[in-house]
Amino acid sequence: MGVENLDKIFKPKSIAVIGATNRIGAPGYNIFRNLIGSGYEGVVYPVNRSKESIQGVQSYRSVNDLPKIVDLAIIATPSQVVLDVVEECGKKGIKGILIISAGFKEIGEEGKVLEQKLWEIKEKYGFRIVGPNCVGFILPYLNLNATFARSMPCKGNIALFSQSGAICGAILDW
């Protein structure tokens, strides 16, 4: 794995949002809305097994149905289906994955088992993962907001990485 796989995450030309939805307030709704409304110039594909369109954009039923291999898959689904989605991403050849979904080691033994299986799939296919159970990230230089936060910080020369979504949110609101 080289730097090119990090480019798939931090300089994506195309993104799939798995778990994109029309349900206002849901993580998949907010993330998809932010991506299509922030000025991001890449292609964004919503993936939802039961809807034909998400927020007015044609939806795909699975990662396998996407018309191309995307650079970044953002997963905002229940933890019980994350492993299946990640496996689909690996088979499709996607090299960057952002997992918003919670329900992994932070919930105890059952979640630890899920997370171990997640890392085994990662090793099998050689992609990079940010997450699971994270707020996402914002790349102002690309007008890319892959979080629940509505605000887009100004472009600048400062980067912030935080383990805490609450801290990131507070800084963005400040």
**pLDDT at residue 147 is higher than 80:** yes
Q: Higher pLDDT residue, 81 or 7?
A: 81
Between 121 and 9, where is the model more confident?
121
Domain ranges of the chain: 3-173
Q: Where does 3-173 sit in CATH, by number?
A: 3.40.50.720
Pairing of strands 43-47, 14-18: parallel
The confidence score (pLDDT) of residue 2 equals 58
- The Cα-based distances of 62 to 8, 56, 105, 139 in angstroms read 20, 18, 26, 26
pLDDT of residue 33: 96
Contact 47, 62 (CB under 8 A): yes
Q: Which residue has the higher pLDDT, 167 or 137?
A: 137
User: 118 or 153: whose pLDDT is higher?
Assistant: 118
In the predicted structure, residue 150 carries a pLDDT above the cut 90: no
Percent of the chain with pLDDT over 90: 71
8 Å CB contact between 133 and 102: yes
Q: What is the pLDDT of residues 156-167, one digit of tens each?
A: 777 676 667 777
Q: Is the pLDDT of residue 155 over 90?
A: no
